[in-house]
A and B are shown apart, each in its own frame.
Chain A
Amino acid sequence: MLSCKDVTALSSDYLDKNLDGTLSWKIRLHLVACRCCRRFLKHLKITKEVVPQFAHGYEQQPVDAEIILQKIKSQEE
């Protein structure tokens, strides 16, 4: 039987369906018995869903494209 530590380490692969059938089945078996890991998986799934929608603003530092273009042109000369 897998431990909570194993399930924690494999949880993204489980959600992304990167695991073979046997390992996925072992995780499901653990989840039936472990409330903490069920909650953990649920929260990780929510995180995976929510963060990309939040992350549109991750490029917070403005870019001065004109200066970059000037540098490109000066190095090409």
Chain B
Amino acid sequence: MTKSPPPAYTDEQDLITALVAGDDRAFCEIINRFQHIMITIARAICGDTFADDVVQDAWIAIHKNICKFEQRSSLKTWVITIVSNEAKARLRRESRKVSLEELDGETPGSYLDGTQFAHDGHRLTPTPAWHIESPEQLLEEKQLQRCINKTLNILPPAQKAAFLLRDIEQHSLENICEILQVSSANVRVLIHRARLTLMQVIDRYQETGTC
């Protein structure tokens, strides 16, 4: 498998100029930069079955329309909007109604699992203690980084997309609702579930030193 090369364009304006001029190297660069987030979004909206096709169609649309890109948003936001629209259109064509909540169910044993609480809503077991509570120290833990990345890659599709868009890409809630076509309340639930799953990875790491 080919390893993605280091970015050749550090300035977005240079990259856009090269893309508009039809530079294949610049186009390969945006593929390297955005392919993963596009797949994540497509999977969240229309599921695994159609995600690869949707992303392929989105790339064709981007390649065809890059000269019309007016730069009213960042290149990444424009690309994300295109793949989101392609995925929604695909979902409509397939006449399938797949709600994100159906795609991403609650994980048994998670912090939100009802069995963790008594009838009156109080915790049955105390929150586990962490021996490392400093973010700086945690960031030094390479094995923990591997555990986090492994978990991010296996999060349910909608949770992963919502989490990446909010906590990593820093999109607004409104924007995420538009991209994923879900309500603000549902986006917030998806983000919360993803965070709790990742927090449990840190719990386990603190207790055992492994994933």
Contact = CB atoms under 8 A, between A and B. Distances in A.
- Is chain B a partner of chain A in the same complex? yes
Interface of A: 3-6, 8-9, 11-13, 16, 18, 36-37, 39-40, 42-44, 46-55, 57-66, 68-69, 71-73, 75-76
A64 to B, nearest CB: 5
B138 interface: yes
A55 B32 CA distance: 17
A54 to B, nearest CB: 5
B60 A4 contact: no
Interface of B: 1-4, 24, 27-29, 31-32, 35-37, 56, 59-60, 63-64, 111-112, 114, 116-117, 120-123, 126-127, 129-130, 133, 135, 138-139, 144-145, 148-149, 152-153, 164, 167-168, 173, 188, 191-192, 195-196, 198-199, 202-203
Contact of B56 (A5, A12, A61, A71): A71
Contacts of A3: 117, 120-122
Give chain A's interface secondary structure class: helix
A50 B138 contact: yes
Contacts, number: 138
A57 B138 CA distance: 16
Contact of B152 (A58, A64, A73): A58
Give chain B's interface secondary structure class: helix
Contacts of B29: 65
Contacts of A63: 2, 4, 31-32, 35-36
A60 B149 contact: yes
Closest 5 pairs between A and B when the two form their complex, measured CB to CB: A3-B121, A65-B28, A65-B31, A5-B121, A12-B192
B135 A58 contact: no
